[in-house]
Amino acid sequence: RDPRLRRVHVVVSSDLKLDPERPEYHRATLDWQEQLTTTTLGAFTPGASADDVKSTRHLPAAHSTGKQVSSRLTSMRGAEVLMELPRGPGMVAKGTVVSALVIGNLSSASVQLPAISPEVVR
């Protein structure tokens, strides 16, 4: 059995401000019923193609669990994924597809997907 966390692709449900100093694993819950319109695709890591995401249907909406500071561990409760966000000024806009590491029990996350570097809006 592969010990690595499973990676899925999700659609960000609201604008997320980035940390200018470091990349972030942003805690989130998933809504598999909500159909969000994907407005922005992230840039893929080497070896992956944009068609991998464009052809994917029914991506879940990822909803932030709230403030992400380390003293707010209650935001970990109920979190199903850690969205992989880059460091930098600006934000990741609602509708952007990002990669997320599964930390909850998701039986549909049986495939390891490539990481996505989302487009940053400044």
For the domain that residue 78 is a member of, what is the CATH number? 2.40.340.10
Distance between CA atoms of residues 93 and 101, nearest Å: 19
What contacts 55, CB < 8 A, 6 or more positions away?
A: none
Q: Is residue 122 part of a domain?
A: no
Distance between CA atoms of residues 42 and 53, nearest Å: 9
As a dihedral over the C-alpha atoms of residue 97, residue 103, residue 107, residue 111, rounded to 10 degrees, the angle is 50
- Domain span including residue 102: 7-117
Q: Is residue 66 part of a domain?
A: yes
- Please give the chain's pLDDT, 122 residues, in tens: 667 778 888 999 999 999 999 999 999 999 877 655 454 555 444 333 344 555 445 688 999 998 776 666 666 667 899 999 999 999 999 988 999 999 876 654 444 556 777 777 87
Q: Tell me the pLDDT tens digit for each residue of 72-103.
A: 666 666 789 999 999 999 999 998 899 999 98
Q: Is residue 59 part of a domain?
A: yes
> What's the structural domain count of the chain?
1
